[in-house]
Structure 1
């Protein structure tokens, strides 16, 4: 097992959905996608974003794309037109997610 950052095994994109943001995580391989499906839960993401996400986190699985999409409700302080926070559209939420550390089996990193 190796402790790595999510950015070592996936890419990400994020944006706004009203007062929430979405973060899409695309695994670099199908095997890594299966690992993420088993280990990157809504609760794990909620804990990672606990300082900015005050609502529910919902995960959607896009198996045909090797993507997990997370909706972080109440994470933008009111949304693009109603907030004073610097990232009103949640564009940096993907980078924040990619900094999450995970314990990954060495066999998936070869």
Structure 2
């Protein structure tokens, strides 16, 4: 099953840091994503894109995980040569993760 089957996501950015929130549709699925989507797995998933640390924050009351990914945007909006300089597509890429 893909994450997109049980969750949605939002992405933000600040400098060279990307922030992805992963929010379950049904609170009963929170434990599933909490166990399946670790910071290490997200780091590996984005392998060549994220060269810094990935930190996961848990928000069980709202059924969400928040991933802060350092050195993830090719230097940031004013430096990056990427087509998606804000990294908005990263949330969709995470939803393609198999659990």
Give me the TM-score of the superposition, normalised by structure 1: 0.86
Q: How does 1:57-68 map to 2 (within 5 A)?
A: 57-68=54-65
Structure 1 segments of 4 or more deviating over 2 A?
Answer: none
Larger radius of gyration between Structure 1 and Structure 2: 1
SS in structure 2 of the partner of residue 50 of structure 1:
coil
Structure whose residues are more often strand by fraction? 1
Q: How does 1:2-17 map to 2 (within 5 A)?
A: 4-17=1-14
After superposition, give the CA deviation of every residue in 1:66-102 in whole Å (9 maximum; x if it has no partner).
1100011101011011111111111000000001111
The Cα RMSD (Å) is: 0.9
Task: Return the offset for 1:12.
Answer: 0.5
Query: Given the alignment, which residue of 68, 74, 79 partners 2:76?
Result: 79
Residue ranges of structure 1 left out of the alignment (5+ in a row): 103-110
Alignment of 1:23 onto 2:26: no
Alignment of 1:43 onto 2:40: yes
SS in structure 2 of the partner of residue 101 of structure 1:
coil
After superposition, give the CA deviation of every residue in 1:37-73 in whole Å (9 maximum; x if it has no partner).
1221001101100020000000011122111000111
Give the number of equivalent residue pairs. Answer: 99
Between the aligned partners of 1:39 and 1:101, the Cα distance in structure 2 is: 9
Residue ranges of structure 2 left out of the alignment (5+ in a row): none
